[in-house]
C-alpha cells in the first residue's frame, strides 16, 4: 500500500515531504531514475523502518528557469500562483517583471504582483501599479511591518501553492513571515555597500501553513539568467496586451520586430499597446541571442 505525499525539498537521494491530508512530515529515499522536485506529488511505500518513493504523479505544470547555458531547469512542480516581489530597494532590474510574466503565462501560473517596502517611498511604484492593474493583473502594495498591507494578499494565498519570486533582498521571506508566522524562513540584511540582498535563501523549499491551508515555495532569489532559450512567439504570448492583435499580422510567422504589416507595431503606433511594454518585448527577444 502506498500513501500520497508532497515533496517539500530534495537532497541527493532523499526527499523531505508532507502527507497530503494530515501534513505529517517524513523523509523518503528515491531511486536514481526518479527525479522528484519541490512540489511534486509522490506515492510512498513504507518498508520496515524506511520510506521509499515509488512514483511521481503527473505534474500539472512546473516553474522553470534557465541554467547558466540557457537550458530549461525545473525548480518546482504543481504551482498555482507566482508571487512576484519587487521593492523600492533593491530597485527592479529592467524587464524583470515582464520576464516573470512570460514564464507565468507559459506555465499557466497566476501572477500576483507585490510591490514591497512601500514605507521607503510610497509613490515609487505608482505608475507601474496603475499600468499593470489596467492590464488586469492583481497588484499589492506592502510593508513588512504593517499587517494591514497584506490582508488581501493573504486571502489570495489561502488553499493554494504559491512560489515566491524576485531579486535577492526584496523581502520575499520577510513578507512570508508576516503572513504566516508559523512558517520560519531566514531573512537577511541588504549589503551596505551594494544595497543588494545577500542570497539568504539557498535551497528551494516548500512550507505549509495550516491556518491558511497554503503552501509557499521559497527559492534562492537569483535570477541573473531568467528565461531559458525561447522563441519570439513564446515571449509574445506572455504579453497579454498583444492578445487582441495576434493573428492579424501580414505574415503568420511574424515576430513583431521589423516585419511589414505587423499588427502589433500598428497597435503600438495607435497607442493601443504601451510603448514601454513593446520596447521591453523587443529587448527580451533580443536577449535570446546570448543563448544562440
Ligand X SMILES: Nc1nc2c(ncn2[C@@H]2O[C@H](COP(=O)(O)OP(=O)(O)OP(=O)(O)O)[C@@H](O)[C@H]2O)c(=O)[nH]1
Q: How far is the CB of 281 from ligand X (least distance, A)?
A: 27
Which has the closest alpha carbon to 61: 186, 217, 277?
217
- For Zn ion, the closer CB: 75 or 273: 273
The SS3 call for residue 127 is helix
281 binds Zn ion per the rule CB under 5 A = no
C-beta of residue 60 within 8 angstroms of C-beta of residue 141: no
Of residues 6, 65, 99, 117, which one binds ligand X by CB under 6 A?
117
Dihedral class, residue 3 (left if φ above 0, else alpha if ψ from -120 to 50, else beta): beta
Q: Work out how close the CB of 177 gets to Mg ion at its nearest, in angstroms, rounded to a whole number.
A: 10
Q: Cβ(252)–Cβ(262) under 8 Å?
A: no
Q: Within 10 A of 245 (CB to CB), how many other CB atoms are there?
A: 19
Choice between 156 and 285, CB closer to ligand X: 156
219 binding partner (options Zn ion, ligand X, Mg ion, none; Cβ < 5 to 8 Å by kind) = none
CB distance 167 to 212 below 8 Å: no
* Residue 174 touches Mg ion, criterion: CB under 5 A: no
Q: How far apart are CA 1 and CA 129, in angstroms?
A: 51
**Helix, strand or coil, per DSSP, at residue 236:** helix
Of residues 3 and 177, the one with the C-beta less far from Mg ion: 177
Residue 249 is a binding residue for Zn ion (CB under 5 A): yes
What mask, x for binding ligand X by CB under 6 A, covers residues 192 to 221? -----x-xxx-------------------x
Q: Rank residues 36 and 166 by Cβ distance to ligand X and give the closer one.
A: 166
The smaller minimum CB distance to ligand X, of residues 197 and 238, is found at 197
C-alpha cell at 26: 517524513
Q: Does 235 bind Zn ion (CB under 5 A)?
A: no
187 binds ligand X per the rule CB under 6 A = yes
CA distance linking residue 205 with residue 169, whole number of Å? 17
Interaction between residue 34 and ligand X (CB under 6 A): no
Listed in order, strand segments (DSSP E) in 93-200 are 110-116, 138-141, 161-165
96-107 and 275-287 helices cross at what angle (nearest 10)? 80
From 46-54, 73-81, 102-110, 198-206, span contacting Mg ion (CB under 5 A): 198-206
The DSSP secondary-structure symbol of 103 reads H
Q: Which of residues 137-166 bind ligand X (CB under 6 A)?
A: 143-144, 166
CA dist., res. 163 & res. 161, Å (int): 7
By CB under 5 A, residue 201 contacts Mg ion:
yes
User: Taking CB under 5 A as the rule, does residue 176 contact Mg ion?
Assistant: no
Q: Which stretch binds ligand X (CB under 6 A): 47-55, 56-64, 182-190, 262-270?
A: 182-190
Rounded distance between C-alpha atoms, residue 119 and residue 138, angstroms: 20
Q: Which residues bind Zn ion (CB under 5 A)?
A: 249, 254, 256, 262, 264
Q: Which residues bind ligand X (CB under 6 A)?
A: 116-117, 119-120, 143-144, 166, 168-174, 187-190, 197, 199-201, 221
Amino acid at each position: 500500500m502506498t500513501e500520497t505525499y508532497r515533496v517539500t525539498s530534495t537532497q541527493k537521494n532523499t526527499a523531505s515531504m508532507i502527507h497530503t491530508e494530515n501534513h505529517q512530515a517524513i523523509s523518503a529515499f528515491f531511486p536514481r531514475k526518479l527525479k522528484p522536485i519541490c512540489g511534486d506529488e509522490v506515492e510512498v511505500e513504507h518498508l520496515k523502518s524506511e520510506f521509499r518513493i515509488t512514483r511521481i504523479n503527473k505534474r500539472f505544470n512546473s516553474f522553470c528557469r534557465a541554467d547558466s547555458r540557457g537550458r530549461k531547469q525545473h525548480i518546482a512542480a504543481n504551482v498555482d500562483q507566482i508571487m512576484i516581489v519587487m521593492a523600492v530597494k533593491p530597485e527592479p532590474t529592467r524587464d524583470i517583471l515582464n520576464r516573470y510574466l512570460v514564464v507565468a503565462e507559459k506555465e499557466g501560473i497566476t501572477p500576483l504582483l507585490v510591490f514591497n517596502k512601500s514605507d521607503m517611498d510610497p509613490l515609487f511604484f505608482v505608475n507601474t501599479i496603475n499600468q499593470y492593474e489596467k492590464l488586469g493583473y492583481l497588484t499589492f502594495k506592502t510593508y513588512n511591518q504593517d499587517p494591514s498591507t497584506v490582508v488581501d494578499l493573504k486571502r489570495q494565498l489561502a488553499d493554494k501553492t504559491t512560489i515566491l519570486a524576485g531579486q535577492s533582498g526584496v523581502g520575499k521571506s520577510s513578507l512570508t513571515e508576516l503572513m504566516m508566522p508559523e512558517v520560519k524562513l531566514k531573512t537577511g540584511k541588504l549589503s551596505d555597500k551594494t544595497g543588494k540582498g545577500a542570497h539568504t535563501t539557498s535551497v528551494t523549499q516548500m512550507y505549509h501553513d495550516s491556518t491558511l491551508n497554503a503552501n509557499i515555495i521559497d527559492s534562492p532569489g537569483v535570477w541573473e539568467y531568467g528565461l531559458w532559450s525561447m522563441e519570439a512567439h513564446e515571449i509574445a504570448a506572455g504579453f497579454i496586451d498583444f492578445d487582441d492583435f495576434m493573428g492579424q499580422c501580414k505574415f503568420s510567422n511574424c515576430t513583431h520586430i521589423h516585419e511589414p504589416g505587423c499588427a502589433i507595431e500598428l497597435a503600438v503606433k495607435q497607442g493601443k499597446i504601451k510603448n514601454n511594454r513593446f520596447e521591453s518585448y523587443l529587448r527580451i527577444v533580443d536577449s535570446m541571442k546570448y543563448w544562440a
